[in-house]
Amino acid sequence: MNHPQSPSATETGSVDAVRRQVMWNRLIAVVEEQAQTLIRAAFSTAAREAGDVSAGLFTVEGDMVAQAVTGTPGHINTMAAAVAHFLQRFPAAQLREGDVLITNDPWLGTGHLFDFTVVTPAFHHEQLVGIFASTTHVPDIGGRRASPDAREIFEEGLRIPICKLMREGAIDETLLDVIRVNVREPVQVVGDLLALAACNDMGARRLSQMMDEFGLREIGTLARYIFGATRQAMLDAIGTVRPGTYHSRMRIDGHEAPVDLVLKMSVDAQGITLDFDGTSAQSAFGINVPLCYTAAYACFGVKCAIAPQVPNNAASLGLVTVQAPQGCILHAQDPCAVTARHVIGQMLPDLVFGCLHQAVPDKVPAEGTPLWLLVLSGARAESAGRGAGYALTSFHNGGTGARPGLDGLSATSFPSGVKTVPVEIVETLSPLLFVSKELRPDSGGVGRWRGGLGQTLRVRNLDERPFRFAAMLDRVVHAPRGRDQGGEGALGRVHVSGRPLGSMGAHEIAAGEELSIETPGGGGLGDPRERPLEMVLADIQAGYVSPEQAQSAYRRTPEELSASTHLR
């Protein structure tokens, strides 16, 4: 009779490693279902259509173990730091099953009042085993509406400190009543808050099921394995960057004056330090950036360039240190205005790339454009009363910078990652008509690799009442720069019925008028004379590049370009 042999230590170790990896993958699936639940349950276009959300699982100590694939860096990486603030206010030992915590404090959450972060303790067989957190952008928070015009946070809307949305499963109706009477879209806002609570609850249930399946009593042991593997992978990635100190700077439009962003990057075997000393002082208007948002996008720039495959969790984020002088525009102090913090903060990956280009030049793209938001609101002529109008955030993007070996992406969001809201959705929810939406020829910076194209949108007001457009736009005066002899992307433009509009501040668009938005293009990469003729001809055929630009920028003769007629 044959007796089964006991597995060797090597075989046992291999099985354990596979098992841990399977459980790690399951955690990612759990938080992805959490995020998708939020998107399905949300009321507003920012979450439901654009995916402007984040979701993640944390240890009971507040360290992020896993994040959903769906989401934006400005939400995910700020949320990674926010949970520690929640646990300072409500220590883990005080949390009970059914508790739900909430805040939209810009300095404790995501950097402005429109984003709510909701935190829920996860229990397994009556034991606290983890923390789920999620974030989304709500359509209104009172105050002056979304705009960079405010001078203090008090003008920008309702600020909720870290408190309990639910106590052991019972909703705090007083808190919801306070929110309802302070916002213009109470149904959408409260609906989004309850969707945040619901998605965390889904995550907690799925985690408990997974723990039963794998016979786990806690996730701390698995988290330590995840953090150890991630830390080593991130250190290996940092090891590919030549040690040293690198500098970059960028001038952008700002609001009342141009803004200078300055960075010193220090790289050694222990990690990367990003120091923004020398950056412009904080603004008198609402384009200021709390440090949490600065860190979120600065870390994202590092990860994109040198460690895109390394998981994003407390271990990988912990190897990048971000510092900025208090009172500069990237470390804005309470109570300054911060609504449009994305305009400045989303420039930071390009600033980081400016340093990394000196150390790993084959890894970084040319400069691109932050989100160009269409924040549209108004009241229908036939409607009356609070909540009877519309308040919509519609995301429309410029071109990304050209990438090493690839052209830039046209009309694509980077670094935020949100999706465009379909124009049909905006037209359904408002009396606005999109007359056209098309790519801008010649807007991508020229180069061996061409920058991505911007787009042109024309929006007509069909209602008897005016609508409000809150402009929070950059790259209208200072263009996205190319690299290695690549050309600049085209500047953005905004006008109404042929009349130029300012790129910062609220504008009223009268009945029958047409708002025209031309988003910037991305910068080019490399010498444009080295772009192969067949690629230039293909661009002409697709309508991306005009024959005139092909002749002047790409140095092609009319005889060479005549070959494009044979492609039609």
Q: Which residue has the higher pLDDT, 161 or 499?
A: 161
Show the tokens assigned to 256. 């009342």
Show the tokens assigned to 508. 């009223």
Q: Which of 261, 482, 462 is nearest to 376 (CA)?
A: 462
CA pseudo-torsion sign 554, 557, 561, 563: negative
Average pLDDT over residues 397-414: 95
Show the tokens assigned to 139. 């359509």
Indicate if the pLDDT at residue 565 is higher than 80.
no
| Other residues' Cβ atoms within 10 Å of the Cβ of residue 505 | 15
Per-residue model confidence as pLDDT tens digits over 181-200:
999 899 999 999 999 999 99
Indicate if the pLDDT at residue 411 is higher than 90.
yes
Q: Rounded to an integer, what distance in angstroms lies between the CA atom of residue 441 and that of residue 457? A: 13
What is the average pLDDT value for the chain, to the nearest integer? 92
What's this model's pTM, rounded to 2 decimal places? 0.93
For the chain, give the longest Cα–Cα distance: 93
Question: What is the pLDDT at residue 14?
Answer: 62
Indicate if the pLDDT at residue 6 is higher than 60.
no
Q: Which residue has the higher pLDDT, 71 or 327?
A: 327
Q: Rounded to an integer, what distance in angstroms lies between the CA atom of residue 126 and that of residue 168? A: 13
Do the bridges between strand 467-472 and strand 455-461 make them parallel or antiparallel, or are there none, so unpaired?
A: unpaired
